[in-house]
Structure 1
Amino acid sequence: MNNDIPEPQAVCSPITSSAIFMVATLAPDRDALHTVREWCADIAGLTRSVGKRVPAGNLSCVCGFAASAWDQLFGGPRPAALHPFREFGVEGRRAPATPGDILLHIRADQMDLCFELATQLMTALGDAVKVVDEVQGFRYFDMRSIVGFVDGTENPVGRQVPKFTLIGDEDPAFSGGSYVLVQKYLHNMTAWNALPVEAQERVIGRTKLSDIELGDEVKPSNSHSALTTITGADGEELKILRDNMPFGRPGAGEFGTYFIGYARSPAPIELMLENMFVGRPVGNYDRLLDFSTAVTGGLFFVPSAELLEDLAERTPD
């Protein structure tokens, strides 16, 4: 990583076996805004305090803010590419925008660490926020999603991780930061499991057992992998860092995937969503959406670790 870039939050941390995703809205009063600003300076310390109990547990926390929350809490300047979540698709196949001002992505190799940190962070916030979505995710066998395919195979690795996830000279005031887009998907597993494995592989674009990408001569253009592969003007593939997690309640018949993607610009993720929900070309949409429904959507900016602490002293104009 470029030494001139401020220390980022734990965006590039290793994948863990447990996670908690929390999305909250701000209470509509000035005291709440003051509480949240002061809390920004406490996040790192609370994470260290909880993580020190199990040093090998790989506990980390990433905090992000939506566009409206940034304006209320901190005023200008705003990160250059931060805007409200953009909806895509048509009725019955839509990526919806849902309420959310603050995102917490808490990761560890033990759920008790995630649980304890989430408890401490929420206690510090008190009535200043209202949690509108909370998901406890788990790692499913050998990195597989609920639908049985390996997830995140095409993530960047090594030096590519900061290259594709951390803001640099394009927005100097916010270098070391990142953008993160989240969606909660629910799957119709009865319908999905009724498909033969070969049909499932054509929907995903990869083999189920060995996780090998299908060749272009057999991979459908509306497969998930085909529509989520984005190439820049220079011909280089534009990657994002996914840390998706399965979740569910078998007793309630709920089976899902919490999608979370980090990037140095929201543009590649939004293009993926447009390809999936609208189609490339229009109408050639992602057939995985015949079995998966997006029920939440939010875009957040993740400041660098240094800026996150400094935000405690910032007030809007």
Structure 2
Amino acid sequence: MGPMARGETGASADLPPESQDVVGPLTRAAIFLVVRVNEGTEDTVKDLLTDLPGLQRSVGFRSLTGGLSCVTGIGSAAWDRLYGGPRPAELHELPVFKGDRHESVVSRADLLFHLRADRMDLCFELETLIMARLEGAVTVVDEVQGFRYFDARDVLGFVDGTENPTGRGASEAVLVDDDGDFDGGSYVVVQKYLHDMAAWNALSTEQQELVIGRRKLSDVELSDEEKPADAHIALNVITDEDGNELDILRDNMPFGRPAYGEFGTYFIGYAKSPSVIERMLENMFVGSPPGNHDRILDFSTPVTGALFYVPTAGFLEDPPAPSSRSSPAAPENESEPDVSLGIGSLRRSARS
């Protein structure tokens, strides 16, 4: 669900040297770790963020073909506490999107660690080292272990990630290029969805295809004549004023615990501007036009959601000294308590 997961061929070679590995190739395993920074522990957290590339190298060296990477995102409220001074231009708290029938969820979250590798043990080891360093400094908001499911399908049975941008197009879609010192970074939105598999499996294959907008077996998109206006794909095509489609990069992963009846999709979308993902979310939950909500929400419920800025690797390893940066007033809504927020967006290059 949501924009598609990235394709087999990564685009890391197109990343500027200082960028984190947001455009890495599809992996077989991932861990999504979201935490909140406890009061008074900012220095401990900053020290970990500075040392994280070294920790990643130490674990990754134990399997040179394992493809281990870790992308770190920083939330709006945490940015001022950790770094002060200038802020990424579009960093803010993710809003709640509420329609007639469905409402997104927002989680109060400060840091995202997106760990990926071809082996879960590598992700597990790096997360263990991260949490050992952060013991007592953070409160865990959510932790999800994702896995690759057959031929890149979600647990609903559809291929997830068919139209992600690749190569240089992926870098152009996700890397900030008009924000001065923050160029080379990215924005990321995450959201955890739980699926009602009993209701979903009660549908025929043909009915499921109308919900998604693709053929289940072949992954071929339905024609405009066949595709309902509330199909997942139909509501997730975002264009600019000139009619050009705006891409995001998804790296969604299935997760679940069948013994507990838990089946889900972890949505994660990278973009050079969070406004693209937010427009997708509005289309999904409110509808386009209003009332025409995404049919997938009748079977998939968001339970978390947050927005982060992904700084360059160079910024994390050597952040500007606070004394050289003037601290602006924090945005008005930064101190608001937890509000449930949904985090799922979709788009055609991100279409399921």
TM-score by length of 2: 0.86
Matched with 1:7 is 18
Matched, 1:61 2:74: no
One-letter code of the match for 1:12? V
| 1:31-110 correspondence to structure 2 within 5 Å | 32-90=41-99, 93-110=102-119
**What secondary structure, in the 3-state scheme, does the structure 1 residue paired with 2:268 have?**
strand
Cα contact 1:41–1:312 (8 A) shared by 2? no
Secondary structure of the structure 2 residue equivalent to 1:39: helix
Match for residue 229 of structure 1? 237
* Counterpart Cα distance in 2 of 1:89 and 1:289: 12
Does structure 2 retain, via aligned residues, the 8 Å contact 1:40–1:311?
Answer: no
RMSD of aligned Cα (Å): 1.6
Percent identity over the alignment?
A: 58
The one of 294, 303, 312 equivalent to 1:295 is 303
Tell me what 2:122 maps to: 113
Q: C-alpha separation between the residues in 1 aligned to 2:14 and 2:69?
A: 21
- How far is the alpha carbon of 1:194 from its aligned partner? 0.5
Task: Show structure 1 runs of 5+ residues with no match.
Answer: none
Distance 1:235-1:18 versus aligned 2 partners, 3 A rule? same
**What's the CA shift for 1:311?**
2.5
CA 1:91 to 1:157, structure 2 compared with 1: closer, same or farther past 3 Å?
Answer: same
- The match for 1:152 is 161
Task: Provide the C-alpha distance between the structure 2 equivalents of 1:207 and 1:107, rounded to a whole number of angstroms.
Answer: 29
Instruction: Please say if residues 6 and 175 of structure 1, whose CA atoms lie closer than 8 Å, have aligned partners that are also in contact.
Output: no
- Whole-Å Cα distance in 2 between the matches of residues 226 and 128 of structure 1? 43
Equivalent of 2:37 in 23, 26, 47: 26
Residues 206-254 of structure 1: CA deviation (Å, up to 9, x unaligned): 0000000100011011100010111111221101000000000000000
How far did 1:127 drift? 1.0
Name the CA distance, whole Å, in 2 between partners of 1:21 and 1:187.
Answer: 18
Which residue number in structure 1 is paired with residue 190 of structure 2? 182
Residue in structure 1 matched with residue 255 of structure 2 by the alignment? 247
Query: Which stretches of structure 1, 4 residues or more, deviate above 6 A after TM superposition?
Result: 1-4
Q: 1:199 to 1:120 in 2, by over 3 A?
A: same
Q: Does 1:267 align with 2:283?
A: no
Which stretches in structure 2 are left out of the alignment for 5+ residues?
Answer: 1-11, 328-352
Indicate which of 271, 283, 288 corresponds to 1:280: 288
SS in 2 for 1:191: helix
Per-residue CA distance 1:293-312 (angstroms, 9 max, x = gap): 00000000000111111228
Write the distance in 2 (CA, Å) between the matches of 1:119 and 1:311. Answer: 24
Give 1:5 deviation, angstroms.
4.8
